[in-house]
Every structure is written in C-alpha cells, then in structure tokens.
Structure 1
Amino acid sequence: MLKVAIYGKGGIGKSTITSNLAAAFAAMGKRVIQIGCDPKADSTINLLGGEPLRPVMNYMREEDEEPEELDQIAKEGFGGVLCIETGGPTPGLGCAGRGIIATFQLLEDLRLFETYKPDVVLYDVLGDVVCGGFAAPIREGYAEKVVIVTSGEKMALYAANNISSAVRNFEDRSYARIFGLILNHRNVENETEKVQAFAEEKQIPIVGEIPRSDEIIRWEDQGKTVIEGDADSEISKRFFELAEKLLEDETERVR
C-alpha cells in the first residue's frame, strides 16, 4: 500500500494537487482513499462534483455520538476515490490537531483499511504548524512518504523548511521520510531558481512541477479535477507523471 502525506502552508494548493493526484491514481486503476486533514474540510470537494462532504468532527459534534458505519462519514467520488474529511472543532474552541488524532483512531476502530483495501492512501495536511495532531500522519505511521508543496514565495518556503525539519526529527524512528518537493508555480520573480536553491540546500529533490494554469481553475469552477475534466491535457500529464514516480518508488521500497 502506497501511503503519502502531502504537506504545505495554507493556500499553497495542497488540496488541488492531492485531489488531482488521487484522480490520476484512480484513472490508472488504483483503489484510492483521500483523507483531508484540514479544518476547512475542502480537500475532496473537486472529487465530489463540487459538493462538500460532512466532516467527521461535525458528525460527532452534531450527532453527539461516533459513527458506526464508514458510509456515515465517507463518500466515493470520481474514479471510486473514497473521500473523508477530518474537519475541526467549533471555530474558536478546541484544537484542530486533536481532531485529526480522534478521527484517525475512529477510522482504525471502523477498520477502514481492512474494509476498503486501498492501493493508495493520500493525506492532505495543513503545514503551517506541525504540532502533534498535524504531525500524526507521519508520527503515528499512517504515511510512509511525505511530499511538500511549495512555491517560490517566502512564506511557502519558510513552511516547507519547518515541515522538512519536523519530518527529519522522526527519521530515526522509522517513520515517514521526505519523498520530495512539488513546485506549484505562482509566477513570482526567479521562482524556479529560489525553489531549486532551497532544494539543494535541504537535499530534497523536486519531484513535480505544476505550472500556473487557468485550466485547473476552470475545471474546479465546475467541481472537477483537471484529470476528470481533460485527462489528456498537459497539466494532467504532470499529475500522471508524479503518480508514476510515487508508484515506482514504492515498488523499489518493497523490493
């Protein structure tokens, strides 16, 4: 099973990249689970035709009980991707990171992985603060690879540095390792050079590069990933290439 956590600062495009990657894996015939680990709970919306999914934390708060069946908190989207959103506490109350930990424990109790038997699991994780809850995918062994999304913007690179430091703190415990960076272009000045310099300094490869594209925005306005909208487009090819790299690396790891 390929298990990948995708991190990056808020607003950097993690959800767009994660959902397109999920759609690419699905189009390749893989069984995929995507788990959104952001209080905004919008990670999977473009796999579900633009319809938001009820987050796990909302269910528990509104029903005052834990769900007993997976279909109460999960929904299949494009290509059969099983979509789950952790959500967060009532705004201003509680800790969002604690919500992630509670959700992961619930998914274990519901035997998510044993029941669905995925080939690929993707975690879409907010990376502005890598506290205990937001580090859960890499700290608790749920994910084995970490991909960091960044642009050439100062704060995006600052967050990428924090995330890489957090992951490396766990490397000696056989937790997740950094697979690489995805450069999600924002067309800032000297962007490629800035990210390449960061990658060389931190010794992290750039494994994917997504050009700034109106095509992605156009399909998202229709509640779709670009993979669903036009699987043969140049942008879609970037996601398929990244999916192939991840699968090839997993095959080598297993060997």
Structure 2
Amino acid sequence: LIVGCDPKADSTRLILNSKAQDTVLHLAAKEGSVEDLEVEDVLKVGYKGIKCVESGGPEPGVGCAGRGVITSINFLEENGAYDDVDYVSYDVLGDVVCGGFAMPIRENKAQEIYIVMSGEMMALYAANNIAKGILKYAHSGGVRLGGLICNERQTDRELDLAEALAAKLNSKLIHFVPRDNIVQHAELRKMTVIQYAPDSKQAAEYRALAEKIHANSGQGTIPTPITMDE
C-alpha cells in the first residue's frame, strides 16, 4: 500500500498508469464528509496489485494541507485498509513544513524513514531538517531513520557529499540512484520504469534499492542532525 501524503497527489499516478487519482480530501468535500466515503472510493489497485491512496490537500490558499494527511490516515485505519498488506509506504513532502505532514512520524505510523535527497545544497538542508523531525519523535515513539537515498542530480562530488551527510546524521547511504533519461521516457507513457523497461539498468537499480530497504528492516538509527554552521 502506498499512501501519497503530498497536496500534488502525484505519488501513485505512474503505478495506476493514469493522471492523478481522486484524493481523500477531494472526495470527502464532494460527499460532504469523510464519514460518507467507502474505502473503495479512495483505494485504487495498480500495477502488480499495489494499492494506492492519495490524501490530497485543500485548494491553494485555503486551509492546512497537512490536515489531509491526518484525515486520510485515520480514515484508512478505521476502515481496515491496512489489513492484509506486506508494506505500507508513506510518500511524504520533503520539507517538513507543518505537523500534519509529520503525522506518519509523529503518530508512530511509520517504523523507518528513508530520506530521498541529492547533492544540491537545499536537498542536504531539507534532509537535515527531516532528521531533526525524526529525532523529535524518536524517543517518544519507535520511529528511526532508515537511511539516505541519493537521487543523482549530477552535481560535483555528489556521492561523497551524500555519504558524508549520512555519516554525520549517524546513518548510512542506502543507495545511490544514477540519473537516467529512461525515467522521463517511462513517465511520458504514464508508467514506472519497472513496468516500461523491466530489463533496463535503471529498473535493476530500483530493484537493488528495494532489496536493500527490505534487508535494512529494524536497523534504523536515531539521527544526529547537524547545525547550520556545520
């Protein structure tokens, strides 16, 4: 099960081979309230039987986007969406801008957080910020930092930077995903790389990443964020 926790609602579209799906908040607004929804309304099944939900967000300039995440996760729990799944992945907005987005961390919904970053300065800054958020809840709940995943942007010494930040955060670089235009080719066809080109080098990278995450279960750490000066 993948729960998209981003107002853009684009976490699951390639798995569903479609444009962005209807979100929990959008459907709730249409029906009157979340109580009027059925799980079938918001949970769609995509490629290889992957279940997909998008929490969505309010209209731009109105309300709190993080609220959608809280509403959605509560709704899914109350309606048995978590029964009979192997994994639950929350795709959360990278800049932890408010408590709502941090809900999977805060409410003990997630065991491990993997931070997707690159060698660009703002990505390193955001990764450190997320580590601060994990640290805040690590002692009260069981959440841990699983590791960093570097999504290559082809900046100078990117691998070195990613490994150095991971070490500073008391974590590790789980995988370095090389940049490849096949990602855009697949996206244009509304597919994931694994569906579009299962035998490609990039598909092998994603499989290797998945295996590393699986093998890393339970080995997360409590992060040690760095100061701005560092």
User: Could you state the TM-score of these two structures normalised by the residue count of structure 1?
Assistant: 0.82
For residue 116 of structure 2, what is the aligned residue in structure 1? 149
1:123-160 per-residue CA deviation (whole Å, 9 max, x = no partner) reads 10002124211111111111101000100001000000
C-alpha contact 1:140 1:175 (8 A) present in aligned 2: no
Greater per-residue helix proportion: 1
Q: Which runs of 5+ in 1 are unaligned?
A: 1-32
How many pairs are equivalent?
219
Which structure has more relative contact order (CA 8 Å, sep 6+)? It is: 1
1:162-203 per-residue CA deviation (whole Å, 9 max, x = no partner) reads 001110121112331001000100111222222222122222
1:76-107 per-residue CA deviation (whole Å, 9 max, x = no partner) reads 01001111000001211100111111111111
1:4-40 per-residue CA deviation (whole Å, 9 max, x = no partner) reads xxxxxxxxxxxxxxxxxxxxxxxxxxxxx01100000
1:201-252 per-residue CA deviation (whole Å, 9 max, x = no partner) reads 2222000111111011101110000011122221111111121122223378
Indicate whether 1:106 and 2:75 are aligned.
yes
For residue 49 of structure 1, what is the aligned residue in structure 2? 17
For residue 38 of structure 2, what is the aligned residue in structure 1? 69
User: Could you state the TM-score of these two structures normalised by the residue count of structure 2?
Assistant: 0.90
1:17-74 per-residue CA deviation (whole Å, 9 max, x = no partner) reads xxxxxxxxxxxxxxxx011000000110101113321000000112213244211111
Q: How many angstroms apart in 1 are the aligned matches of 2:70 and 2:219?
A: 30
Q: What letter matches 1:79 in structure 2?
A: K
Q: Which runs of 5+ in 2 are unaligned?
A: 221-230
From 193, 203, 207, the counterpart of 1:226: 193
From 13, 22, 26, the counterpart of 1:58: 26
Query: Any idea what SS the aligned residue of 1:132 has?
Result: coil
Alpha-carbon RMSD? 1.6
Indicate whether 1:83 and 2:52 are aligned.
yes
Q: How many angstroms apart in 1 are the aligned matches of 2:53 and 2:28?
A: 14
Q: How many angstroms apart in 2 are the aligned matches of 1:166 and 1:147?
A: 13
Identity of aligned residues (%): 40
